[in-house]
Amino acid sequence: SKGMLAALRTLFGSTSAPRSRGAILIKIGRMIYDFYGSRNQVMPRHRMVGRRQALSGMPALNPSIVATGTYYDAKISHPERLVLELILDGRQANAASASANYTALVKSADGVLTFQPENGAAFSVRPKLVVNAAGPWIDDVNELLGAPSKMIGGTKGSHVLLKHDELVKSLAGRMLYFEADDGRICLIYDYLGLALVGSTDIKADNPDAVRCEPDEVEYLLDSVRTLLPGMAFERDQIVYAYSGIRPLPASDASLPGLISRDHSAPVTEPDRNRPFAVISLVGGKWTTFRGFAEEVAETVLGRLQRSRKVT
């Protein structure tokens, strides 16, 4: 019941809701998930099982669990390849498009943007419109564009990859989502033969200074030790650790987990010193990238008074 109250408080705008959940709330959430996916349903619906059946299917789980829920989700094992395919699709749609990699914006004046490549001569453009898709660096880029903003309130998410054959075998292709002691939802899954464990959720203002810190490593290891008490988890099993910033909207929420994961594309209108508008892509994730991109494309086409040629 406490978990359900937390969900309701969050739904109605609370910024300090407790984060414990329970089997009833998870069941309701899975039912809603099934409902939204029912129109194009291709996978089985979720199912919930009690402690005894859950432990018979995965004996390594903590025996104090109440129940487990199973549902089907998606996994992108090589996101960089998907990004490359998106770039190739864009080039195919408009062969006149140009890329400028490893380039810094060094000047914005009189409607002209000047860029300095890491290797090569500087060049300038006079844009009609700028789309700022810099993720956690959106506010930094807007400052350079002459459109100062405070749109981003990023949070850091750290992960570790473990060489743990026993765990990988126990997973048997499954991904585990579970609640850590502080209410944060963590996950474990097989990633190319290693066990990926994540993630933390810590407010972070400087994306250039983000690292997976020792206390985060211990937090993740402690979380899996609690979930799977019959297995050993030590630092020397860590093959790789990494951290990234979620480009979430600026928020006064007391806990990072209460910050909205929704996306938006606010427009900073032109002024006398900057004759072009700036559209900033705030939030978003792989789950929604296609829909978000379409929304932004419609905004861009409308402002440029152009018609869509490619869907």
Residues 147 and 164 in one domain: no
Which CATH number do you get for residue 266? 3.50.50.60
The CATH number of whichever domain residue 217 belongs to comes to 3.30.9.10
**Last residue of one domain, picked from the residues 72, 98, 132:** 72
Per the document, the length of the chain is 311
* Domain limits for position 273: 79-153+260-304
Nearest-angstrom CA–CA distance, 170 and 232: 13
Q: pLDDT value at position 22? A: 75
- Same domain for 186 and 206, yes or no, is yes
Q: Is the pTM of this model over 0.75?
A: yes
Q: What pLDDT, on the 0 to 100 scale, is given for residue 3?
A: 45
> Phi, psi at residue 263, to the nearest 5°?
-120, 160
| Spans of the chain below 50 pLDDT | 1-3
Question: What confidence score (pLDDT) does residue 13 get?
Answer: 60
What are the helix and strand counts (H, E) for the chain? 8, 14
Instruction: Extract the tokens encoding 297.
Output: 């494309």
List alpha helices for the chain, DSSP H.
Answer: 2-11, 23-36, 51-57, 79-93, 138-145, 165-171, 214-227, 289-304
In this prediction, residue 2 carries a pLDDT of 41
Question: Is 6 in the same domain as 64?
Answer: yes
Neighbours of 288 (CB within 10 A): 14
Q: Tell me, what's the pLDDT at 6?
A: 52
Q: How far is CA 79 from the centre of its chain?
A: 12
| pLDDT recorded at residue 11 | 58
Q: What are phi and psi of 100, to 5 degrees?
A: -135, 90
pLDDT of residue 9: 59
What is the H or E stretch that residue 149 is in?
Answer: none
What pLDDT, on the 0 to 100 scale, is given for residue 234?
Answer: 95
> Which of 49, 72, 95 is the endpoint of a domain?
72
